[in-house]
Each structure stands twice: as C-alpha cells, then as structure tokens.
Amino acid sequence: MSPNKFRKLKREFYKRNLLEVTKNLLGKIFVVQGEHFKLSGKIVEVEAYHGEHDEASHAFRGKTKRNEVMFWEGGYLYVYFTYGAHYCANVVVGKKDEGQAVLIRAIEPMEGIDKMKINRFEGRSIKDMSLLNLTNGPGKVCKAFGLNKMHNGIDLTKNHIFILNQPNLKKNEIGISRRIGISKSVDLKWRFFIKDNPYISRK
DNA sequence: CCACGGATTGGCT
DNA sequence: GCCAATCCGTGGA
C-alpha cells in the first residue's frame, strides 16, 4: 500500500492556506459512503471564498445562523440553499473563525453513477440526461450526491462523507479564472479547474 | 415586518 | 444568449 494515495484527507490538510488547499483539492476523490451504496468522483472544478477582503463570500459580513459552519476549523462540509432551488457544497478551510471555504463546482463521476442519475434526474423532466450533465455545476453535484441541509456541518474526517488523497496536480494542468455567478469582488481569479477535463461546468 | 436578491439551472426566444 | 422559477436568510425601515 502506498502510504497516502487512498487515505482520507486529515484535519491538517484542510487547516492550511486557503488557495493552497483550493488548488490541492483538484484531482482528489469526493466520497459519499452510505450503508448500502457508495458515490464517488474526482473533483475537477473549485472556487475559493475568503473570510475577509472578499465581498462575494458569505463570511464577509460576519457570522450568521446560515454561514456559521464556515467559521469552524477546516475539514467540515458547509452546505447552503440558494435561488429557492439548489444546494451548494463547500469544504471549510483554515483555522477556527477564519471563515474560509472552497466551493465544489464540478466532479467527474466515478462510482455509483446509476444512483447519481436517479438522484439527479428522477421525477424531473430534463432533456439532457447524459453523463456530462450529471455533476458539472455546484447545484448538480449536490443533487447527484444527495447533499442537502442535513449535511451542513458534517465532519469530513469521519466515515460518511470524506475526500480521498491523490497526488497534487502539476501547475500546467490547472486552469485559472474569475469566479462564476458573483457580483462582488469579481476580479479575483480564484476559480481553479483541471484543464481539458470535460466534466467542468464551463471553459 | 417586508422587500430584496442570490457562489444556479434548464428551457426557450 | 436570455430569462423565469422558487425559497428563505438577511438587512433595512
């Protein structure tokens, strides 16, 4: 067994510098382990949200009931509801009270694809039910992996929802851009994605 | 107390 | 490319 390759990321991984953790999360394996099923996929697109100096961050105006998990120490899942319809999942980063998180924007599906398709498409009339349309957006990721407000605050170092280690990507394998869908702090280039990966939400 | 708008999505002009 | 759907946390009055 290689020592780290398939091991769960530990608390220390998440408590480091925000942008380092954000880039290091690319290529890692996100896992939801149920009693009778397992869903997993490779993280291919992420965005960083800082606690200070970042007006687009939920944490910018301080702690509230909604965003309190963002102020926990790194390694917890922050799930919030938006646009009256969608959930978005974030990995909390840094030390307690820093208010930093990484939004998981897209995943390349690996295990449990049939169940993901049921989660995401069943009971809705969606024309494009292809694999490429399964998890290529933050709301889609939550739908496919069955994430909702019940999972807000889940500890990623435990056995239900966690992230498996993989080698860090090389610099030239990572694409960088402005973040998507925000109206403040729009110039920060804090979106990172795996270049040429077909499962990202957009170019 | 109430109006606003959002870290989105999907379908249509 | 454009826009409506749809809920509720947040913040101003």
pLDDT at A52: 87
**Neighbouring C-alpha atoms within 13 Å toward the C-beta of A61:** 7
SS3 state of residue A22: helix
Domain contains A55: yes
- Is A166 inside any structural domain? yes
Domain count, chain A: 1
Footprint of strand C on the protein (CB under 7 A): A 61, 64-67, 81, 83-85
> Does residue A175 lie within any of the structural domains?
yes
Instruction: Dig out the tokens for A175 from the structure.
Output: 């694409």
pTM to 2 decimals?
Answer: 0.95
Is A17 inside a domain boundary?
A: yes
The pLDDT, as a whole number, for residue A46 is: 98
> Tens digits of per-residue pLDDT, A139-195?
999 999 999 999 999 999 999 999 999 999 999 999 999 999 999 999 999 999 999
A6 — pLDDT class (breaks 50, 70, 90): confident
pLDDT digits (tens, 9 = 90+) for A152-167: 999 999 999 999 999 9
Q: What is the CATH number of the domain that holds A97?
A: 3.10.300.10
Strand C bases within 7 angstroms of protein beta carbons = 5-11
C-alpha to C-alpha distance for A139 and A79, rounded to whole angstroms: 10
Name the percent of chain A lying above pLDDT 70.
98
> Within 7 A of a protein CB, which nucleotides of strand B?
5-11
Is A66 within a domain?
Answer: yes
Q: Looking at the domain assignment, is residue A128 inside a domain? A: yes
DSSP A155: B
Across A7-11, A53-57, A165-169, least confident range = A53-57
- Nearest nt to A84, CA vs C1'? C7
Q: Is A18 within a domain?
A: yes
Q: Quick check: A121 and A41 in contact, CB under 8 A? A: no
Q: Which domain holds residue A68?
A: 11-194
In a domain, A5, yes or no: no
User: Which protein residue's Cα is closest to nucleotide C8 at C1'?
Assistant: A84
Q: Would you say how long chain A is, in residues? A: 203
